[in-house]
Structure 1
Amino acid sequence: MFLSRYADIAACYRDPRMSSDKKAEFGPKFGEGSPLYRHHTTSLVFNDPPLHTRVRRLLAAAFTPRSLAALQPRIEAVVDGLLDAHAGAGRMDLVEDFAFRLPVEVICDMLGVPASDRAPFRRYSLAILGALEPVAGPERQRAGNEAVSEFSDYLTGLVAERRRRPADDRDVLGALIHGEVDGARLSPDELVQNCIFLLNAGHETTTNLIGNTVDALLRFPRELARLRADPGLLRTCVEEGLRFESSNQLGNRRLTVDLELGGERLAAGTYIHIGIGAANRDPAQFPAPDRFDAGRDPNRHVAFGAGVHMCLGAVLARLEGTIAIGRLVSRFDGLARDGAPERGGRARFRGFNKYPIAWDA
């Protein structure tokens, strides 16, 4: 069953009778025991309690508004450094040179990944997330399995090195290694696979948030001019970017009991497809949904989900997006496309692989 109405999807997200466990789906899709199966059935997002609860509690302290506020100077420094590097040229690729680089630097800092080791991470992420597409052919599955294996090997070594140091509650990787919930720690595989999840999820949403929002501002130049004239609109502009072109377009749940949804009686075991992008364009919830409105308020989108599975990194993504978009727009006049952008070519995730831009140097 495919849900597209906002009200149905909001109810689905908050109903504990909707399971996020994907073992039944991922076994036939990836093959039980494959690297992709091991990764996706162990990571936070595709699990129910108790594993979901244990991992989320261990990570929660690193993602509180107070903890993330301490990261703001580092985020600002990365953004300014990336803009400085291209300012004189008057052009750059919005995704490759900016939108991707920022969140990777931040999440790698949080996990203690050396700067010299970060280059392969976007390739790993695109391959692993690409295999989640509704139809993922043998080539995507091969690339995804190789990426999980290489990423796992790297992180196993990083974890082994980090274990030799004392626990530090300001260190996300240390919290995952040494932290306990109800007396239990993560197993070695749970630890590695959830580090992969963090590195992937930690940059995918923000990369697409920045790219999609800047694209919308360039397609709606009056809104770009409005934002320039009133920087106080930056917060609502970022929320509108999340709504208008949601980074994650599709989600899934499975019913654990018989229940009624959207006026229909559904049997236990029914697989639900959640149309996140459709919900965020539902005219019953959002007036003029196909218009980008930098000042839209209220804006109760579901780009980050809702309920117990609401995106743990939502505050961080908003902070990174606000700083990146705000500084880009305020610093460079005459922002415009500098050639044809290239879409990511995925149904589940919406974003760009390439997006050349230029400005008045």
Structure 2
Amino acid sequence: MELPPDEARAFAERFDLAALDRAFLDDPFPRYHALRRFAPVKRLPDGSVFLSRYADVAVCYRDARMSSDKKAEFGPKFGVGTPLYRHHTTSLVFNDPPLHTRVRKLLAAAFTPRALAALQPRIEAIVDGLIARHADDGHMDLVEDFAFQLPVEVICDMLGVPAGERSPFRRYSLAILGALEPVAGPERQAAGNAAVVEFSAYLDELVAARRKRPADDHDVLGTLIHGEIDGERLSHEELVQNCIFLLNAGHETTTNLIGNTIDALLRFPDELRRLKENPGLLKSCIEEGLRFESSNQLGNRRLTADLEIGGERLAAGTYLHIGIGAANRDPAQFPEPDRFDAGREPNRHFAFGSGVHMCLGAVLARLEGTIAVGRLIDSLDGLARDGTPERGGRARFRGFNRYPVAWARKNSDKRKTPG
């Protein structure tokens, strides 16, 4: 999966996140190899720097001189005061303390392993129901009919969104997250701004209704509304924008995790067979899915002070593109990185980041992915592609828009998915 040396060198010399072609979006991994080999600390035309080596990405997650605040980036990109600017500069992921600390502490209680273990029966019931709904048909779209449905149901349950009001959320999410692409043209920005406005209006009403009831330890929305950290509560804007963030992040990572992992298993049939013969590999298979086709391929930080990375001195203010997908295919860290290995150990990937910004929903995503992938391959014999999948066409988030699958029959002798 590597480009010929001359082609790889030429690609590394001309690489620019602002000018990506379809070949990169369809399969970035040979290009990541080229960057690691010929330009691992790649200075881009706009002055930013793209990092593709595992060791360099690790520095970004552990060094205190890294800022996640994106106001300086998002002002010129979206326009100060626009709905997209307000959303992305208020949400948990694009902030430093103290806002990041306050929101994370409020949410932490809802995402502990103990709290999430209580969700397992509900997750299993959703997965089993989705499989049962399509099992007799012999075919479905893996993304639309299955992978997307599960996380949306779970996060909407957690936030108290009524069952009949959830259908617009995928459209909202794709529009809002699509605007985070390295280049988001006028159409993408218009769709993203409209989605934030519609989503915010919906949440205004949901929050107003929920404020009338007292706090409940099992209610994430109630915790965000009534919870206090050092005597301080979230403002209404902080509350609404972080609910949007939770709904978007809660579905995007898990949807892509399920779709990408099933795709990898179908492309590596020996590993699918190995997993079916040894269900104890399921958890390591999910970790390999996270590494092999990381849902989130790119992250960003801005340097608050001069710092040496990869042997190069970078000045304070430098904007860094963290190549998560590239780091997770670095042969210096992962032997045979382009091979999907359902039993890979160790597997210290960066799919959920690391450090203080480690993904808060990582435990939930792993739980959903483990149950969904395990029950799907255990329940449906002869699972296979049923047509041509359609990639999402995004550089930052890697997944599928559609993935038609079919199977020979439903397996009535189901084994219980390992916990």
TM-score band w.r.t. shorter chain = over 0.9
Shift of 1:264: 1.1
Paired residue secondary structure (2:81): coil
- Equivalent residue for 2:172? 124
- Equivalent residue for 2:124? 76
- The equivalent position to 1:324 in structure 2, one of 372, 379, 392, is 372
Letter in 2 for 1:66: R
Distance 2:322 2:304 in 1: 16
- The equivalent position to 2:193 in structure 1, one of 134, 142, 145, is 145
Shift of 1:220: 0.2
2:57 matches 1:40: no
- Where in structure 1 are there 5+ consecutive unaligned residues? none
- Equivalent residue for 2:214? 166
Distance 1:352 1:210 in 2: 10
Letter in 1 for 2:175: A
Paired residue secondary structure (2:140): strand
Paired residue secondary structure (1:107): helix
Shift of 1:305: 0.1
Letter in 2 for 1:251: G
2:137 matches 1:93: no
Distance 2:108 2:296 in 1: 22
2:173 matches 1:104: no
1:300-348 Cα deviation digits (max 9, x unpaired): 0000000000000000000000000000011111010000001101110
Shift of 1:104: 0.1
Higher relative contact order (CA 8 A, sep 6+): 1
2:262 matches 1:214: yes
Shift of 1:174: 0.4
Paired residue secondary structure (1:357): strand
Letter in 1 for 2:183: V
Letter in 2 for 1:262: G
1:154-210 Cα deviation digits (max 9, x unpaired): 001000000000111211000000001111100000000000000000010000000
* TM norm structure 1: 1.00
Moved over 2 A (4+): none
- Equivalent residue for 1:5? 53
Query: Which structure has the greater CA radius of gyration?
Result: 2
Shift of 1:236: 0.3
- Equivalent residue for 2:245? 197
Letter in 2 for 1:49: P
Shift of 1:10: 1.0
- Where in structure 2 are there 5+ consecutive unaligned residues? 1-48, 410-419
Mapping of residues 262-301 of structure 1, within 5 Å: 262-301=310-349
2:292 matches 1:244: yes
2:377 matches 1:333: no
Distance 1:65 1:10 in 2: 25
How many pairs align? 361
Distance 1:59 1:41 in 2: 18
Distance 2:272 2:156 in 1: 31
Letter in 2 for 1:37: Y
Letter in 2 for 1:159: V
Structure 1 range deviating more: 188-197 or 3-12: 3-12
- Equivalent residue for 2:276? 228
- Equivalent residue for 2:303? 255
2:226 matches 1:178: yes
Distance 1:66 1:10 in 2: 29
Shift of 1:114: 0.2
- Equivalent residue for 2:412? none
- Equivalent residue for 1:15? 63
Distance 2:234 2:78 in 1: 24
Letter in 1 for 2:182: P
Shift of 1:261: 1.2
Shift of 1:263: 1.0
Shift of 1:64: 0.4
Distance 2:393 2:234 in 1: 35
Q: Give the percent of matched residue pairs that are identical in Structure 1 and Structure 2.
A: 84
- Equivalent residue for 1:64? 112
Distance 2:172 2:314 in 1: 38
